[in-house]
Chains A and B, each alone.
Chain A
Amino acid sequence: MNNKQYIGRQSISFTNGPYIHAYASIVGKKEGEGPLGKYFTKIVEDDFFGQNTWEEAESALQGETVKLLLNRSGVSPSDIRYAFAGDLLGQLMATSFGLAEYNIPLFGIYGACSTMGEALSLASMTIAGGYADRVLALASSHFASAEKTFRFPLGYGSQRKFCATWTVTGCGAILLDSSSGSARVTGITTGRITDYGLKEKDNMGACMAPAAADTIYNHLSDFGRAPDYYDKIITGDLGYVGQTILIDILKTKGYDISNVHMDCGIEIFDINTQDTNAGGSGCGCSASTLCSYILNQIEKRAWKRILFVPTGALLSPVSANEGQTVPGIAHGVVIEAV
């Protein structure tokens, strides 16, 4: 454990990577009707999750997901040493009110839609460093609370551009364990804030693609790997526009990932029937896709190794109104079947 585990410019290769002991995901009705519907642990029809406000609804979504995870793993909250969790709302409202009842020591984190990657990275480091044996990593988003925070009231009749994405109502939670599980986190590459100066907040795929490219490029060079080392390189919520850009940028840097690339935002909705424009987005998009379809494929050993790269657009309603650019960030996590 005293071995040096950091490699290259911004990566860690764990000598004893933590195991994914259990995972759970809950999504809303629309996501449940999408192509990945059968993989989610639970689909909730009521967008309010039995609550009165959208913020309370997202808190309930987080709380329920943790409850499901605990039931699936048979672990009690007192056995979990830390939680790393976040959401998109101001001051992490959903996390603060959703996880309070569990009394798990908490690090609240904000990485925009890349939060699940950040949570998994920190949780893995905590276990690999010997600071804990069981750690929870979780992220959520809710369509209505995100619309309210970042766009317009829900009933307002405005038109979306094609490049706009649809915030996923969903939460994904993973319980990492130091000794047993069906998959393992074997390395991470922490993303840098990458900004190509774009100000178009509707085109988040284009704002985040350079960050995803930067993280993937640095990951491959830090580890000395080629793209086809992985069965899949999975970004969070670039959507159709962002996917094109990511593949193009990496081509200019000499890597072709078009055969192995997959984007959670593209997979989670059906573009032809669900009217979601460029795809899904939000912390819940990558988190719920990871904790359903992706980990399922790894458990079945259909995929042996993946690079999971959730992408975040680091804007706030204030920074956008003040004419700032939309910087992006993306965190890479290597997950391997055991």
Chain B
Amino acid sequence: MSDLINTPNDNSDTDQMTILDKAVNTTDKQKQIINYEDYVKRVTPTKSLCMNMLRAFLVGGLICCLGQFFLNLYTSQGMNQDDAGMWTTISLIAISVILTGFGIYSKLGEFAGAGSLVPITGFANSVAASAIEFKKEGQVFGIGCKIFTIAGPVILYGIFASWILGLGYWILKISGAL
């Protein structure tokens, strides 16, 4: 893991201490907040952005390739494009839910970040993980109330955004622009 980490630059040590000193030994709360935040940013190592992007690209790309594989497979079996697309989605979701149940998807997520979060498998993972976790709290107050704890915002704002776009489309249409 250590190759992943950007350790803060040691050359700025004295700089850092001056800033921290301003944060610690002051009575001005506002200055304290700003200086402390600045200092903390300097001493907190972060994971390498390039490496993270590379991992996300690899895993995200592989998940998409898997989708393409299913699509080709289903169309080669004589399905039309629409049906094959539907079955591809179902297959990816099924795989994600099974991997979530075995505790594998969370490990994939730790490695890949947005690479496993953005595709439809990430959405399925967020729903399945909540369902598994909250099952113990009952069918109604557990699964029923909490299954969309993570996916809820995506559903709400996804529908809301499509409503806005639909409204725009409709206005353009009746105004004759389209």
Chain A interface residues (CB < 8 Å from chain B): 52-53, 148, 152-163, 196-198, 200, 203, 206, 210, 213, 240-241, 244-245, 248-249, 251-253, 271-272, 275
Q: Are B37 and A155 in contact (CB under 8 A)?
A: no
Known: A153-B149, A197-B29. A249 touches B20 (CB 8 A): yes
Interface centre among A157, A161, A200, A241 (most CB of B within 10 A): A157
Q: Which 10 A-B pairs have the closest CB atoms?
A: A157-B109, A197-B33, A153-B133, A155-B129, A156-B129, A153-B129, A196-B36, A159-B113, A206-B40, A252-B21
CB distance from B131 to the nearest CB of A (A): 9
Known: A198-B40, A206-B40, A272-B2. A248 touches B106 (CB 8 A): no
Known: A155-B128, A157-B109. A248 touches B17 (CB 8 A): yes
Q: Are A162 and B46 in contact (CB under 8 A)?
A: yes
Question: What is the bound-complex CA distance between A21 and B100, given in angstroms?
Answer: 46
Instruction: Write out, one digit per residue, whether chain B residues 95-127 have a CB within 8 A of any chain A CB (1) or not (0).
Output: 000001101011111101100110000100110
Known: A162-B44, A252-B25. A198 touches B126 (CB 8 A): no
Chain A residue, CB-CB nearest to B107: A157
Majority-rule SS of A interface residues: loop
CB distance from A239 to the nearest CB of B (A): 11
Question: What is the bound-complex CA distance between A253 and B24, given in angstroms?
Answer: 8
Q: Are B21 and A154 in contact (CB under 8 A)?
A: no
Q: Are B110 and A157 in contact (CB under 8 A)?
A: yes
Chain B residues with CB under 8 Å of A155's CB are 100-101, 103, 105-106, 125, 128-129, 132-133
Task: Give which listed residue, A53, A196, A200, contacts B23 with CB less than 8 A.
Answer: A196
Chain A residue, CB-CB nearest to B108: A157
Known: A154-B133, A155-B129, A162-B47. A251 touches B106 (CB 8 A): no
Question: What is the bound-complex CA distance between A152 and B122, given in angstroms?
Answer: 14
Question: What is the bound-complex CA distance between A259 and B23, given in angstroms?
Answer: 24
Q: Does any Cβ of A come within 8 Å of B130's Cβ?
A: yes
Q: Are A198 and B44 in contact (CB under 8 A)?
A: no
Question: What is the bound-complex CA distance between A252 and B35, given in angstroms?
Answer: 14
Q: Does any Cβ of A come within 8 Å of B32's Cβ?
A: yes
Chain B residue, CB-CB nearest to A160: B110
CB distance from B159 to the nearest CB of A (A): 22
Known: A154-B129, A157-B125. A245 touches B108 (CB 8 A): no
CB distance from A54 to the nearest CB of B (A): 8
Question: What is the bound-complex CA distance between A206 and B5, given in angstroms?
Answer: 18
Q: Are A156 and B106 in contact (CB under 8 A)?
A: yes
Q: Are B134 and A153 in contact (CB under 8 A)?
A: yes
Question: What is the bound-complex CA distance between A53 and B135, given in angstroms?
Answer: 10
Q: Does any Cβ of A come within 8 Å of B1's Cβ?
A: yes
Q: Does any Cβ of A come within 8 Å of B173's Cβ?
A: no
Chain A residues with CB under 8 Å of B36's CB are 196-198, 210
Question: What is the bound-complex CA distance between A53 and B5, given in angstroms?
Answer: 35
Q: Are A158 and B46 in contact (CB under 8 A)?
A: no
CB under 8 Å from chain A, chain B span 128-158: 128-130, 132-134, 136, 149-150
Question: What is the bound-complex CA distance between A185 and B47, given in angstroms?
Answer: 41
With A53-B136, A210-B36 given, can you name 18 additional A-B contacts, CB distance below 8 Å?
A: A152-B150, A153-B130, A153-B132, A153-B134, A153-B150, A155-B105, A156-B125, A159-B113, A161-B46, A163-B46, A196-B32, A198-B40, A206-B44, A241-B44, A245-B39, A245-B40, A245-B43, A248-B43
- Give 24 pairs: A residue, B residue, CB < 8 Å, sorted on A: A153-B129, A153-B133, A155-B105, A155-B125, A156-B106, A157-B100, A157-B105, A157-B110, A157-B122, A157-B125, A157-B129, A159-B109, A159-B112, A161-B47, A162-B5, A197-B29, A197-B36, A240-B45, A245-B20, A245-B39, A245-B40, A248-B16, A252-B21, A253-B25
Chain A residues with CB under 8 Å of B23's CB are 196
Q: Are A244 and B150 in contact (CB under 8 A)?
A: no
Task: Give which listed residue, A154, A161, A244, A253, contacts B106 with CB less than 8 A.
Answer: A154
CB distance from B36 to the nearest CB of A (A): 4
Chain A residues with CB under 8 Å of B133's CB are 148, 153-155
Question: What is the bound-complex CA distance between A279 and B59, given in angstroms?
Answer: 27
Chain A residues with CB under 8 Å of B39's CB are 245, 248
Q: Are B109 and A158 in contact (CB under 8 A)?
A: yes
